[in-house]
Chain A
Amino acid sequence: AQKITQTQPGMFVQEKEAVTLDCTYDTSDPSYGLFWYKQPSSGEMIFLIYQGSYDQQNATEGRYSLNFQKARKSANLVISASQLGDSAMYFCDIETQTPTFGTGTSLTVIP
């Protein structure tokens, strides 16, 4: 069994500031993938970033980076230079044989 925990139900950030969204996971499988998705109010899930369990370097995709700390089983998402359009729900997902999503964090960017 695998588990994802997102402990921040809601976060606020000032426009142009950076924000970190927390994600911890638990799995006994040595090979897994970690994904972050964004879900705006329109409802569609949008892929942001991927980190493999054997990847040595932290993943980055534009303004998104993943702070992967394998020993602590954490995979926090860092969004730099926040924009108003970043306001959305953010979900962390772990995949071994099947995907498991967390309960999400609602991010609000304040102008």
Chain B
Amino acid sequence: GAGVSQTPSNKVTEKGKYVELRCDPISGHTALYWYRQSLGQGPEFLIYFQGTGAADDSGLPNDRFFAVRPEGSVSTLKIQRTERGDSAVYLCASSLETGLAGATQYFGPGTRLTVL
């Protein structure tokens, strides 16, 4: 079956603009995660959803970042008033269920965001 997909693969925007990044998880996966990965670093947790609700958004850096998953499938990460420091690869992952033994995550290819 299809893996996790993310669109766009690359996004270049200007400082102060609004961007939306989309994630389409593996069908049937109830958990969905967003990460940010800067050059030379590991993925940094942002938020995860269990179904439609944000189960933990403790990793969102500030209120310019927001994510939704209205129907429990596709998710959109929204960044307002982008700053140059937001430039990174944004990764999405999904897993079949939460709970440690079932939490193996399947990652998408990422969206490379560049803020000029």
Interface string of A75-110 (1 = CB under 8 A from B): 000000000000000010101011111111000000
Contacts of B107 in A (CB 8 A): 37, 44-46
- A8 contacts B by Cβ under 8 Å: no
Contact of B101 among A4, A33, A44, A101 (CB under 8 A): A33
> Size range of the interface on A?
20 to 34
A-B contact pairs, 20 of them (CB 8 A): A31-B100, A33-B103, A35-B105, A43-B109, A44-B107, A44-B108, A44-B110, A45-B93, A45-B105, A47-B106, A91-B42, A91-B43, A95-B100, A98-B45, A98-B56, A101-B35, A101-B43, A101-B45, A103-B41, A104-B42
Q: Give chain A's interface residues, CB within 8 Å of chain B.
A: 4, 31-33, 35, 37, 42-47, 50, 52-53, 91, 93, 95, 97-104
